[in-house]
Amino acid sequence: MAVNSLAGAVRSTGAGHGWLRRVLALDAVVTGGNGLAYLAFSGPLGELLGIDRMVLLDIGAFLLLFGAGVGFLASRRRPSESAVKALVDANLVWAVLSIVSMVVWFEPSTAGTVWIPMQAATVAGFAALQWWALRSTARSAR
């Protein structure tokens, strides 16, 4: 029942390319904003999260560029299906590697132990929304 209600809400807010473009744009804003925060506040955030400042600078630069790429994809009238599929895969890999890095490489603080899985879940959520929107686009094209 809840899934049908959610699916109806998705259709009513704009199935097809419009919905997909909005999901991509939101991902671009969140990813770019996260990258900017890591770049601008790497010292204090590094202390808070228990992650080396230089690591956050590298991650921030990557996220800023990645967010710009997602933003470019969102700006396309009809985002490429293969590019969106690659983005979904990249988001899923990021989510998994976030958890793996927390366990294997990093020694995060309590805040980092909360933040890392939370951001991984957010990224996985974007992957799910993008996949759903892509499928919706394909169905509406039939």
Identify whether 88 is part of a domain. yes
Q: How far is residue 26 CA from its own chain's centroid?
A: 8
Phi, psi angle pair for 52, to nearest 5°: -55, 135
pLDDT score recorded for residue 46: 97
Examine residue 100 and state whether it is found in any structural domain, yes or no.
yes
Q: Residue 10 has what DSSP assignment?
A: H
The reply to whether 9 falls in a domain is no
* Cβ-based neighbour number of residue 80 at 10 Å: 11
Count how many domains the chain has: 1
In the DSSP assignment, the letter for residue 16 is T
> What are 33-72's pLDDT values in tens digits?
999 999 999 999 999 999 999 999 999 999 999 999 999 9
Q: Look at residue 51 and tell me if it is in a domain.
A: yes
User: Does 32 map to a domain?
Assistant: yes
Domain that holds residue 71: 15-136
**Domain presence at residue 77:** yes
Residue 3 lies inside a defined structural domain of this protein:
no
